[in-house]
Amino acid sequence: MNRILKFIAVLLAAVVLLGVIAAALLPRFIDPNQYRDDITRLVYDHSGLKVSINGPIGWSIFPWVGLSLEDVSVAGADNSQLAQLGSAGVSVKLIPLLSKRIEMQTLELKGLELTLVKNTKGKGNWQVSAPEPSEQQTPGEPEQTPTPEPDSSPLKLDIASVNVSGLLISYDDQVSGQKYIIDQASLTTGAIRNQQPFHFQLKAHITVPDLVVNSLISGEMTFNLDAGHYDIQNLKVSATPDVEKGESLSIVGNIQYQQTPVLVKGNLGVAEFNLANLLHQIKVQLPPMADPKALNKLSFDSHFSTNGESLTADKLQLQLDSFTLDGNFTMNSIDRGDMQFNFTGNDLNLDNYLPPATDSEKTDGTKAADTEAPDEEQPAQSSPEKPSGKEHPLIPVAMLRGLNLDGSMKLASLTVAKFIFEQPSVAIKAARGRQEVNIGSRFYQGTIDMTADLDVRQSGQPKMAASAELKNISLEALSTPVPDLASVQGDVNASMKVHTQGQYASVLTRNLDGNIEFTIDKGVFTEANFDKMVCEGIAIVRKKELRSTDWGSSTEFTDLSGSFVIKNGVATNDNLIAALAYMNLKGDGYVNLVDRQLDYHLGLNIRGEEAPDSDPACQINKEYVNVTWPVRCHGDLDDLTCGIDVKRLTETIADLAENRLKQKIEDKIQGPVKDLLKGFFN
C-alpha cells in the first residue's frame, strides 16, 4: 500500500513538474505575434474599431501570467486616428488566481493618446459600429449563451502599484469650434490591497478655450470588497491656472461610501483662496468694487450624508472676507427637490462689492428761467407693455416655478446702499410656483416688517405683491445714509401695500399700483423757515421789502401726515397736512417713478388772527387770515427746484381782490336792506 501511495505521489510530482516546465517553455515555442491578425479581427468584429499592433507582443505563463504590448494604434470613423499606445504591461501571479486572489506586479501604461473629433455634422470619430455577425448557427435556432455559475467567494486584490504616464486626451468640437486638451497626465498608486490604505495621485495639464490649468487629485483610499465599503481620506482636488504664482482652487475632505444599502457621507470643503486673484488669472473681468480687498478670502466647509434619495448637510459654513455664514440644509426628497435650511451670519456689507460711489450724472436739459408753473396737467402715464431695449429679465421664472423650499436666515447686520439693517431676518416659503418672503429688522431706532409674495405660475408674467409696516424710524438717524433727509426730523410711522407684474425693471415700475400712508410725529424742517416763505409772499403782495434778516433755519411741526395712491408707477397725493407753530402746511402733487419726475405743491396758511410778526412787511390784516400761500417743488428727482408758486399766488391775489370787492358791495347795500327787512317785521 505504501508503495502505491509513494508511486502516486511521485506521479503527481512529475505531473506538476512537467506542467511547470511546459508553462515555462510554452512561451518559447508559441509566439503570440503570430496571432496579430486574429486579435485585430476579433476586436473589429466586436467593436468596429481597427487595431494595429505594430510593436512586439510579449507574454508569460508561470509563475506570472503576463502580457505586454508596444506601439498599438486604433483607427476610428473614416480611418481617422483615434488612439495610440506606446506600451502596456501587466503580470498576474498564476497560483493565487485559483483561489480568486489577484496578485499583480506593477501595472504600467505609457504614452496613451486619445484623439477625439466631432465633425461639423455632429458625429464623433469614436462612433463606429461593429459589422453584422456571420451566420454560424442554424437559421431559426436561438443562440445559446452559457449562464455563469454563481460564485459567492470574494475577490481579493494585491497589486504592487499602478503607473500610468504620458496620457494625452484631445477633443476637437468642430461644431462649436472649441478644442480641449488634457496632456502630461499621470496616475500613480501605492500597493493596492484589501482593507489597507494606499495613496493615489492623478495629475493633468488641461487646456480649454482661453484657459490653461494644472489639476491634481490625490488622497488615501481604503476599501473592503467583501463588505462593499470604500473610504477616501485626505482627498484633494485642485485646479491652478498655469501662470506665475497661480491661485489654487482646492476641494478637500473625506468621503465614505457604502454599497449596500447605499450611503455616502463625509465632509467636503473649499480651502481658503483669493477669489478676486483667481478670477483675474482666468481672465474674468470683475467690475470695480468699493472695497479693494473684496473677494480676497473665500472658503467653504460641509458635513453631509445621502442615501441617493435624501440629502442632509448638518454643517454648512461659508466665509467671504470678514463675513461668515453657518447653518444646515436638508433635502428630504432629491427627486421632488423639497429643501429646508436655516442659516445665521454676522455682519454683511454688500456695499463693499458694489461699484464705488461717483458723482451723479446730471440729466441733459435746461431749467426754466423762473419757477412759474405751466398749465397743470395730469402726469403722463407710460405704456406698461414694453421694456426698454437694453433690459434683461430680472426674475428667473423657470427656476422659481419648480422651487420647493422652507428656510430662514438671520444676520447680525446687513448694509445695502449705505442703509444699515440691524438683526435682519428672512423667512422664505416656496411651493407650486408661489413664493412668500417675510422680512423683519431693526432700522434706525425703529422697526421694519415686510411680507412679499411672488406668483410665477403664469409663464412670462410673474406677479408680485408686498406690504410693509414701518414704526418709529428716526429721520434724524436715517439722514446719515440719506443726507437729503437732513432737512426733516421726526419719527416716521408708515404702512404700504403695493403690487405689480412683469419681467423687466421698467415694466415692473410702470405696472406698480398700491397705496402708502405715513405720519411724522414731533418733527422739524431743519433747512426751511416757512414763516420767512410766507412773509416773502405777503411782502410781494404788499409791494414791501423784508427788513428782518435773522429768521432762523428751521420750522417745528407737531404732526405731518399724508397718503399716496400709486397707479401705473405714478404716486399722487392730495392730503399732505402738517401743523406748524403759527400756520398749517398742506400739500398735493405727484411723483412719477417711471420718468423720475416730481411736481409737488405746498400751501401755507396762517391760522385765525395769528401771524408771524417779526417783520412789518408781512403784517396782514384779517382778510388774509387762512389764505393759502403756495410753494412749489418740481423737476427731475435728482435735480429739484423749489420756490414761490407764482401761478397759484396770482390766483390767490385774484381771490383776495374779489373778496374785497364783495365786501364793499355788502357795505353799501347793508343799510337799505336792513331797513327794508325791518319794515317786513313791523
Burial of 355 (0-12, 13-18, 19+ CB in 10 A): exposed
Looking at the chain, how many residues does it have?
682
Taking the C-alpha atoms of residue 522 and residue 491, their distance in angstroms, rounded to an integer, is 7
Whether 492 and 519 have beta carbons less than 8 Å apart is answered as yes
What fold does the segment set 210-357 form as a domain?
AOC barrel-like (2.40.350)
In terms of Cα–Cα distance, which of 232, 199, 233, 235 is closest to 216?
235
C-alpha cell at position 88: 502596456
C-alpha cell at 505: 425693471
Is-contact 31 53, C-beta < 8 A? no
Q: Is the model's pTM score more than 0.75?
A: no
Q: Nearest 10 degrees: CA dihedral of 128, 130, 131, 137?
A: -170
User: How far is 677 from 682, CA to CA, in rounded Å?
Assistant: 9
CB contact at 8 A, 604 and 629: yes
- Grid coordinates of 60: 508569460
Reduced to 3 states (helix: H, G, I; strand: E, B; else coil), residue 300 is strand
Q: How far apart are CA 235 and CA 508, in angstroms?
A: 48
Direct distance between the N- and C-terminal alpha carbons of the chain, in angstroms, rounded to an integer: 173
* Positions of E strands within 122-175: 156-159, 162-173
What's the pLDDT at 50? 87
Q: Give residue 627's pLDDT.
A: 66
**Residues in the chain, pLDDT under 50:** 1, 3-8, 10-23, 25-26, 29, 135-141, 360-377, 382-384, 608-612, 665-666, 668-670, 673-674, 676-682
What is the pLDDT at residue 682?
Answer: 35
Q: How many other CB atoms are found less than 10 A from the CB of residue 436?
A: 14
Dihedral sign, Cα of residue 329, residue 333, residue 335, residue 336: negative
DSSP calls for 403-424: -EEEEEEEEEEEEETTEEEEEE
Look at residue 148 in the predicted model and tell me its pLDDT. Answer: 52
**Residue 346 in grid coordinates:** 454676522
Which residue type is seen at 306? Answer: T
pLDDT of residue 93: 67
Distance CA(561)–CA(563), nearest Å, equals 7
